[in-house]
Amino acid sequence: MKITVTDRANKWLVEEMDLQKGDAVRFLGKLYGKTEIHDNFSVGLRIDEPRDVLAEQTIEGITYFIEEIDDWFFSGYDFEVVYNENTDELDYKFSKQ
């Protein structure tokens, strides 16, 4: 699986979460909500330390990652984080591997 955070999404995350070089942001599955591939689950994110990394991308010193423990949520898909100008929020896209 591959994780991709677009440049504009990175900029939004840096501004909204006050991220600094050396920070790491984990994406994970969380209960409640909906994604294009899961009912009753949505994407969560938090500043965290990478441990058992399934996929990662580093942009300007900030690491975005998914842990092995969250493979159940992302399995079989590549994951992309994009900025939505209309909502001024992030959108999450899953594409079949």
How many domains does one find in the chain? 1
Range of the domain at 42: 3-96
Phi (first) and psi of residue 8, to 5 degrees: -70, -35
User: What is residue 97's predicted lDDT score, i.e. its pLDDT?
Assistant: 86
User: What is residue 39's predicted lDDT score, i.e. its pLDDT?
Assistant: 57
Give me the CATH number covering residue 8: 2.60.300.12
Residues 11-34: pLDDT tens digits?
999 999 999 999 999 999 765 555
Residues 31-84: pLDDT tens digits?
555 556 665 557 889 999 999 999 999 999 999 999 999 998 899 999 999 999
How many CB atoms lie under 10 A from the CB of residue 56?
15
Total length of the chain: 97
- Between CA 86 and CA 97 the distance in angstroms is 28
Q: How far from chain centre, in Å, is Cα 22?
A: 17
